[in-house]
Structure 1
Amino acid sequence: MNEKAKEFIYPDTTVQITGTRLLEIEHCRRIIEYNDIHICVRTYVSELHIWGENLSADDYGNGGITVKGQIKSVEFERLRI
């Protein structure tokens, strides 16, 4: 599959970080792992690893989630598609 087709089929993920306590992610496919120190979210083309303390995730609909808590780091891991 060429790059133009991938861009059409797999929408870009939007991540908005507000301070160190709020992170909003659009175009999520599913939550892979969830506990109070680590949340792993799969998007169409990557996995996001959110590390911190007292983390919680809320679904805000339309394929997005909100992560709250003391966010220490965010890692992006590109998937092979």
Structure 2
Amino acid sequence: MAVDFSNAVTTDEGVQVNGVVMHQIVEQCEGCERIKEFEGAKYCGTYPQPAAKWRLGICNFSTHTKTAPGKGKAKVNPLKASKRAAKGR
């Protein structure tokens, strides 16, 4: 759900949209297609606190980052693995 900044209000806390305070984007957000500009500052159009999304790694809303396929190990069924080992594969 994209935020509509047409009804945004500047308060002491920051920019408030529909009762939610929006925080400015962080450096990792640069290049994302979801960035909205309001009164010369850049905000995420999807999430009010962009820094929180980047705290644990890559933001799941980002449009400019890609995850590498096959990074994790595939799960192996232990029963099938033991049968393959018994057959000599």
Q: Scaled by the length of structure 2, what TM-score is found?
A: 0.21
Q: Scaled by the length of structure 1, what TM-score is found?
A: 0.22
Larger radius of gyration: 2
- Which has a greater percent of helix? 2
